[in-house]
């Protein structure tokens, strides 16, 4: 079993990649690029999978992070092949990801 810090590093790296992929884009630009959409969705899958591996003990010590929402989004992305709500993905990028990054930085 890996240390929680390994999974947190995977999450932080995926956040940085999403920021890189979407740098300079607005919602319209994101919607226009299937390449960026695919890359971002993959990184959200990584975030979700890593969050599922973080120990329950650690999750309880960081209640400000919405662990269940993160893993739930991953499940929707993995199993919703043709039904991914790109507006929700963009909203997550623009509103939720900066907050998650901030909270992870405080750990």
Name residue, tokens 């790109």. 86
Catalytic residue among 17, 42, 79, 103: 79
Q: Is residue 79 flagged as an active site residue?
A: yes
Indicate the helix (H) or strand (E) that contains 52.
helix 34-53
Exposed / middle / buried, residue 56 (Cβ in 10 Å: 0-12, 13-18, 19+): exposed
Catalytic residue among 10, 69, 74, 102: 74
Pair of tokens at residue 96: 């939720």
Q: Is residue 74 flagged as an active site residue?
A: yes
Query: Which residues are identified as catalytic?
Result: 74, 79
């Amino acid at each position: 079993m890996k240390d929680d810090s390994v999974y947190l590093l995977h999450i932080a790296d995926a956040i940085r990649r999403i920021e890189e992929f979407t740098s300079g884009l607005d919602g319209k630009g994101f919607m226009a690029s299937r390449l960026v959409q695919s890359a971002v969705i993959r990184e959200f899958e990584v975030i979700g999978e890593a969050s599922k591996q973080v120990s329950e003990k650690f999750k309880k010590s960081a209640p400000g992070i919405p662990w269940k929402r993160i893993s739930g989004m991953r499940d929707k992305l993995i199993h919703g092949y043709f039904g991914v709500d790109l507006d929700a993905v963009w909203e997550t990028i623009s509103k939720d990801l900066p907050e998650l990054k901030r909270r992870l930085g405080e750990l």
